[in-house]
């Protein structure tokens, strides 16, 4: 099968490096273009990037020359599929330029998550929101470009656990307190003297993002926009001295009485993508552990190749109805992996620019077949 050519914006940063790690041997996508800041443009990737991952820098990527980070300034061919790993203020400027140039911009940034015509997507949760991208001005113009985003790293793990519960029982209100890993702050991130032996009970804008994104993710697409989930959400967000893995303590009030067995069944039966054989999708998105002291980042962060949410400590809540603890990998499921999975779903739905994937594989799906799965 001929792989689709893709590019990475912000390729030298920590999320950009995760994109490279995940896409280097991807069966559907091939990295042919990398871009970074003006000070890095023109350099070999290996000379500009300070590699921070636990696997070697791919030799082929090491020799790629970093390109300017605007489509107009590029001398080489810019692929029509762009994975963006940019700070939000830079994303506000650059992502619309690439969408306007006809690119599918699959973004990890917060810049456009709550923009009414931009899909905010976790495929197992709300793939049916993706047709919203056809409402964007770039898409309806001659360019055919668009922006699709994945959520905040804490919101992703949370809504994976909540989606099967909301579908079956309805959610009236939600309380969540997060313990977020230092890798979520990027590199160099939080200074060691601020975090070692310490908990920092503030992450700028994090509580606001978590509270509003849950409503959009668990809302419904009405054909023109998203009707937000009306549940009340209260979040506390804390930075802790853990490298990878966001832990969240969650209490939920449901719209009707629910038993422990019903909750466990909802999680175990939640496999909305399994029949579509997406390379990055975990077979079991939500994994329950009945160990009394789990999940823990040291032992559980790699579940489902880092793409599953692990849930434990399910018990009755004297204030709301039920409470539990969840853990998800913040730079895999919560960042680069989430965007790669979004791209795989877009390919299956024939919403990526260029050749339709199923013309090569016979595995493509009609749009409504995936979103209603």
Q: Is residue 51 helix, strand or coil?
A: coil
Please give the structure tokens belonging to residue 24.
Answer: 């280097």
- Categorise residue 288: left if φ over 0, alpha if ψ from -120 to 50, beta otherwise: beta
Residue 216's H or E segment, with its range, is helix 206-217
Please give the structure tokens belonging to residue 276.
Answer: 């579509």
How far apart are alpha carbons 370 and 349 in whole angstroms? 7
Concerning whether 153 is annotated as a catalytic residue, the answer is yes
Contact indicator for 247, 313 with CB cutoff of 8 Å: no
In the chain, the largest separation of any two C-alpha atoms, in whole Å, equals 62
Out of 103, 129, 246, 329, which one is annotated catalytic?
246
How far apart are alpha carbons 371 and 333 in whole angstroms? 20
Out of 129, 153, 237, 329, which one is annotated catalytic?
153
Identify which of 214, 250, 232, 233 has the alpha carbon closest to the alpha carbon of residue 322.
250
Concerning whether 129 is annotated as a catalytic residue, the answer is no
Q: How many other C-beta atoms can be found within 10 angstroms of the C-beta atom of residue 44?
A: 14
Residues marked active site are found at 153, 246
């Amino acid at each position: 099968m001929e792989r689709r050519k893709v590019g990475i914006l912000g390729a030298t940063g920590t999320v950009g490096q995760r994109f490279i790690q995940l896409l280097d041997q991807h069966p559907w996508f091939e990295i042919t273009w990398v871009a970074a800041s003006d000070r890095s443009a023109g350099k070999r990737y290996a000379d500009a990037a300070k590699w921070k991952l636990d696997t070697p820098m791919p030799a082929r990527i090491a020799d790629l020359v970093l390109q300017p980070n605007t489509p107009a300034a590029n001398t080489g061919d810019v692929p029509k599929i762009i994975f963006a790993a940019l700070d939000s203020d830079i994303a506000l400027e650059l992502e619309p330029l690439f969408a306007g140039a006809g690119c599918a911009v699959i973004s990890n940034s917060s810049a456009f998550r709550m923009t009414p015509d931009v899909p905010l997507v976790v495929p197992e949760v709300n793939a049916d929101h993706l047709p919203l991208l056809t409402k964007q001005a770039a898409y309806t113009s001659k360019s055919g470009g668009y922006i699709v985003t994945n959520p905040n790293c804490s919101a992703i793990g949370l809504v994976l656990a909540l989606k099967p519960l909301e579908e079956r029982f309805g959610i009236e209100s939600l309380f969540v307190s997060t313990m977020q890993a230092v890798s979520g702050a990027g590199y160099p991130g939080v200074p060691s003297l601020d975090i070692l032996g310490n908990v920092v009970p503030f992450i700028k804008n994090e509580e606001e993002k978590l509270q509003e994104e849950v409503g959009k993710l668990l809302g419904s697409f009405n054909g023109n926009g998203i009707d937000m989930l009306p549940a009340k959400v209260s979040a506390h967000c804390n930075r802790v001295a853990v490298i990878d893995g966001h832990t969240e303590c969650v209490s939920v009030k449901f719209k009707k009485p629910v038993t422990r067995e019903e909750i466990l069944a909802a999680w175990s039966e939640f496999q909305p993508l399994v029949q579509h054989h997406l390379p990055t999708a975990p077979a079991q998105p939500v994994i329950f552990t009945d160990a009394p002291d789990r999940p823990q980042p040291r032992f559980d962060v790699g579940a489902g190749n880092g793409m599953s949410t692990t849930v434990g400590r399910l018990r009755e809540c004297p204030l709301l109805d039920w409470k539990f603890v969840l853990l998800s990998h913040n730079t895999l499921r919560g960042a680069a992996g989430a965007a790669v999975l979004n791209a795989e779903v877009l390919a299956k739905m024939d919403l990526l620019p260029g050749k339709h994937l199923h013309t090569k594989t016979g595995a493509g799906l009609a749009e409504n077949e995936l979103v209603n799965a």
